[in-house]
Amino acid sequence: MNRREFLLSSSGLVLGSTFLNSAFAVPNTSPSGRPHFFVLLRMTDGWDVTLSLDPKVHGSNLDQQDVFLEYRPEEIFRFETLALGPSAEPLKPFAKELLVLNGVLMNSSDNGHGASLNFITTGNGEGKAPTLPIEIAASMQRGPLGIITNTDAVTLDRPVMVTSSRSLLDFENMVQLAAFEGFLKSSKSDSDFMRAIEAIVDNKPVMDRLIAELKATKSAREAAGDQEGVMEACALIAAFNSQVAFQGQIDLTQGRLDTHDDHEGKHLEVQKGRWTSVAEIFKLFKNTPLRGYDESLFDHTTFMVVSEFARTPALNNSKGKDHNPYTNSVLLAGGLVNGGRSVGASQILSRNATRSGTPKHTALPLDFKTGEIGSSFEIAKKDNFNFLTPDRVVASVAKGMGVDANRFRSASLAAPTLSGLFKS
């Protein structure tokens, strides 16, 4: 067995990396000077936002042939300006800490799952930017394990390590750790990958703290059962509280949201299952104290929940809903978020209001400074109105978190951004 094979089989820790110039960095901080963590949660397949973050009602000019709804108006949960459809019901206990961005315009045409997910994840529609947690880590100080994730992460040329959440959970049980350390010390480093691992293992206080934090999540892991995302969240909690990482990403993929057919009931159930996972992750973070402070990890973590696009409002001939790039929604959550509200909006154009005779669900422009919603696409021609697009979402989040504008490259921070997303 060669050196690299030994490292991979012994720890399985790293998915891919470039060596960190400073292996043990100071954490990202909030305005209070306390750590500010970031977690990207991705619901793959494309969600029906009318069932969750952007619920609608029928009116005098809209019926089931314009927008197919599976709930009554009174079933929409409302808190201040926030509205949640039935699939997002598990989020109700966190309402005051939720901020929904509605009317996110993805594109003028369907680019498919991969390109759309990359756009909402990176803020760059040309595939020229890394995943947002990577970019935040590169633009702010980060921990020695970079980001923790259960999936691949686009790094491009960013010198940020990508660590497997599942393998991190196995780290506390790694057999013969002393022998592993001895092997590292007796072998000459031959790559950035090896030197990064050595830097982590050589810092015994950090390793001891990480293993202790992993053990502290054991009861939560044992109670998780098959609830998607919980095990991965435990890895993030251990990494954050031991300060070996400050950013993470979890993909939620159970069930089928890409309901081009047989949409009724099934999409709602699957999406609700994924929101249940999100709620369980929030609960875990709320129930975990931030080490050294009298607040929870949730109080100092910003969560961003995304999917690649919305779905068309009416059922197609196969009783399904297709990809809809004309609008989308994003959820921000956490103790640092200025929550209990929604920003931006969308509209349903009835089949009688479109040239094609096909109803459309589209984003509406807004004034980024005042939050005023434009009444039509034409309003976007005015100087003070803009469409909320993925690059503006990413830039707004990054700017609100206080990234270094000289180092952040995913989207321009000089262009209009939403203010007031975070508490001052």
What's this model's pTM, rounded to 2 decimal places? 0.91
- Within 315-407, strands assigned E span 323-324, 330-333, 341-343, 346-349, 360-363
Q: Which residues of the chain have pLDDT under 50?
A: 1-12, 15-24, 26, 175-176, 183, 193
pLDDT digits (tens, 9 = 90+) for 232-243: 999 999 999 999
Give the pLDDT confidence score for residue 230 in this predicted structure.
96
The torsion defined by the Cα of 147, 150, 152 and 157, in degrees rounded to 10, comes to 0
Nearest to 160 by CA among 185, 139, 187: 139
Measured CA to CA in angstroms, residue 110 lies from 7, 59, 115, 204, 361 at distances of 43, 28, 9, 50, 14
Environment class of 273 (CB within 10 Å of its CB; exposed 0-12, middle 13-18, buried 19+): middle
Cα 158 off chain centre by: 19
The closest of 165, 201, 166 to 180, measured between CA atoms, is 201
For 332-370, the pLDDT digits (tens) are 999 999 999 999 999 999 999 999 999 999 999 999 999
| DSSP H or E stretch at residue 39 | strand 37-43
Domains of the chain: 25-164+228-401 (3.40.720)
Give the DSSP H or E segment for 249: strand 247-252
Predicted pLDDT at 11: 42
Angle at which helix 192-202 crosses helix 204-216, to 10 degrees, equals 80
Cβ 199 vs Cβ 143: under 8 Å? no
DSSP 415: S
Specify whether the CB–CB gap between 284 and 300 falls below 8 A: no
In this prediction, residue 27 carries a pLDDT of 55
Q: Rounded to whole angstroms, how far apart are CA atoms 299 and 37?
A: 10
